[in-house]
Amino acid sequence: MATANKNLSEYTGKNLVNISDKKFAVIVSEWNEKVTEALFEGAKSTLLKEGATAENIIRKNVPGSFELTLGAQWMAQREEIDAVICLGCVIQGETRHFEFICQTVALGITEVGLKFNKPVIFGVLTPDNEQQALDRAGGKHGNKGDEAAITAIKMLGF
């Protein structure tokens, strides 16, 4: 989660690997759609800005964050995919599923990355309320979607 008043989107873009021929899968959860659409826009615009081509950004939707893991697995198993970015938002105050969903998804995404030996990025917001989410989806704390895209690129340059 962002540190107070720190904009997560302030990256220089320096020393990043060339991604002009890299293929990205971006999995987007439909729960809290206003937030996750903003995360997607951030991730997509960052990938394009850093040199990815539009046809190499493959978007897939899943119903909720819980389904991000299986969506990630389906995309990561494709040989042509270089990195997978998972975007979701689970708001603590609005669901008793909070811990269950967040822990399951974090573990699942980690396992998919290890299983397929490629970057699978956890771009899931876990705020207390919608305002905190919006602050991190293009608001005063930047956009976690940008951060997820930069993380994927950095891992490709490992």
Instruction: Name the region of 124 (left: φ>0; alpha: ψ -120 to 50; beta: rest).
Output: beta
Distance between CA 142 and CA 1 in Å, rounded? 11
As a whole number of angstroms, the distance between CA 128 and CA 92 comes to: 5
How many residues bind ligand DLZ (CB under 6 A)? The answer is 16
Q: Does 73 interact with ligand DLZ (rule: CB under 6 A)?
A: no
Of the listed 34, 49, 78, 97, which one is catalytic? 97
Nearest approach in angstroms of CB 125 to ligand DLZ is 9
Among 48, 59, 64, 139, binds ligand DLZ (CB under 6 A): 64
101 binds ligand DLZ (CB under 6 A): yes
Is 141 part of the annotated catalytic residue set? Answer: no
Distance of closest approach, residue 27 Cβ to ligand DLZ, in angstroms: 11
CA separation, residue 138 to residues 2, 9, 35, 78, 104 (Å): 12, 9, 9, 31, 26
For residue 64, the minimal CB distance to ligand DLZ (Å) is: 2
